[in-house]
Amino acid sequence: MSISMPHSDLIDASGWLSTARQLSSPNCDPRPEGMAIELIVIHNISLPPGVFDGDAVIDLFTNQLDWDAHPYFQGIRGLKVSAHFFIRRDGTLIQFVPCTLRAWHAGASNWQERDCCNDFSIGIELEGTDDLPFTEAQYATLAPLVHLLKQAYPIRAVVGHSDIAPGRKTDPGPHFAWRRLDENIA
């Protein structure tokens, strides 16, 4: 991703980031009327688990996953999910849902006594697992992205999926360097 000096004008009025590869996901819908974007939720994903660099995540988010391509996919058959952004291991940034729409990334969730975090959050998926560190390239893309989103929207917090769905979700996992992210977006 080439956001060296983040500027909110990189995000157009509909919520698309001009520096991201754009692949539209059908798994989104309008946010509730007047809902401000106040939260960024960090996730991790790999399909099948622990396999990187294939297109299964892209295919899942665009409803094109071949459910018969791997035995693991049978357990998620028919799942309709998305995220606003996906950061590959090499730092490539893909946007699936414009920020102005609600992506389906958080599921049953709660933040500061507010349910349905999808209504007021932006979801960022990192290609990875709970068991492995994320790459330098991913942090080099993530930090300026978060900084940019904080300039463009009234973001109040950046949290992990585990923070808004404790007991149900564990991502981004123990290897995610929160301190490093905080230091690079200040």
Beta bridge partners of 124: 42, 85
Backbone angles phi, psi at 179, to 5 degrees: -60, -40
Strands 28-30 and 101-103: antiparallel
Give catalytic residues, as residue numbers: 125
Neighbours of 178 (CB within 10 A): 12
- Residue 40: closest CA among 138, 124, 97, 134: 124
- DSSP element (H, E) containing 151: helix 136-152
Q: For the chain, state the CA radius of gyration.
A: 15
